Structure 1
């Protein structure tokens, strides 16, 4: 038997593929359309590994997905494929609708057709694990308790709304057709191979390049930070013992403001790679106009995950962010290969010409 993942050349998907091959003898089929955030170099170490099969394909191509499921006798699908950057969803929501909603629909349809043809006991063992986000729950004030799986959906960005819609589709396919699905909603991931439009890799890259470090608004937006390898271990555990039809929140127990995250990165770089002029990296922080509709706080209550399937994150924020900074310092060529014309165009569109 085999598992199939979608979006497996992206940030979280590629980390999952790397960890899966390292920890399992079971074959993994990796499907990715290779849009701007899909990067085959993330998977270079698996190039000659027979337990990893990469297929360039679009999850909206129903016949291709169904054929892959049948050919490789897939026992589980993990859906990582998603447009995931809030800023891009504000500028161009259509891609988010096509991938996150229509793509999930087509993937569910292919899975339903394939699952419906399986004989027992394979039919009972099949799983569809949908990887989603805490942003579907909306925003919290400083005094409100963290999101649980019982929170009402209140998405506030086109990205969050598209993921909320996909979550609802997954739930409906379980309730209506009996498709054995599980949904996970994770907090902000960080770690190796993250596209440098997101806060942490953006800050590291710009700091190492001697540029200003943009921070939205007052920088007091709070996020719960989850090291990507912890996320991958949680997903493996959910796939192993998670209950059909359930939703599990995955968090890192690390609430930090965006400004605090940037300051931690700056302090680490002051230690690991001091500036030539001996000035502090933090002096390069530049506050920029806030994004429209910017949610103030996300926080995850992962009690259900801890009590029902015995999972806890291994990394604190302090240990995870140090590993992350060290990885980007040692892999600057990876980042430079990404920072091309398209990326520069996006950066100028997002932040204007106000940054040096």
Structure 2
């Protein structure tokens, strides 16, 4: 086990880059020295045993349409309106800005943060107390139709991409924030989306299926030769939200030797689909049990959505991860299972995906 008294946690998804670019000046310093805002910064990560994860580049929409999303998602049923498709130019500027921020954090960290391009990089970081960061894109709005930007980002360290966030783009269609609902909410990948999947397979960039709708999911199953991975999704059988995965989808992930990271967002955890931080950790464990049953103990991890979601108050921020680990142990998971879920499975599936 890595040299730490805490159970190491490697995480499938966070939005700290978005929080930092929206925040104060000197975001690198805020992250590295700690600003105690939101869920994540490096000092708090060390307190919670957070050893690495996927750092999302996400282009937000300016238009909100005046919708009070919190009030809407407190209802027994809801369907949150999605923003329109984004333009390429502004999306590329934000994508470069956020990718550059992660690179600058690495550069300013004096060796404490590393953008990882291989499973060997991740193992080295975990063993030596270095934060292992994967450059990830959530929604490919910054990728041009000819995929030239994909090559540029790959050389900058990009190793994981979700073709869509929930809004549509030129590559496909995501699931809305709708409860109750199946993930079968619209058409699948476009022709450009098919080409993006093929290009990611060639480059060995991991494809994240978390926000893709069901038809798009099955398009990737048909096209991809890599393990199927959903970095931050839960079990639809436990919470019938459009963002969660059906048992049929979980069976396909298991067949591919893929992976699901359990999302901490309460609206995807709770059987009632509500955004409410008064959510017991036992509700998260129900999802883990279901995923272990349907994907296998080697295919389940954590995908917190830190800095991007309402999470259980019992966790609070990254410093609360040991409380989740304790809940897993109380539930009866042995130490080997806890280690797999907390970090080993992520490293293994990335090695199978990246080839090294």
TM-score scaled by length of structure 2: 0.34
TM-score scaled by length of structure 1: 0.34
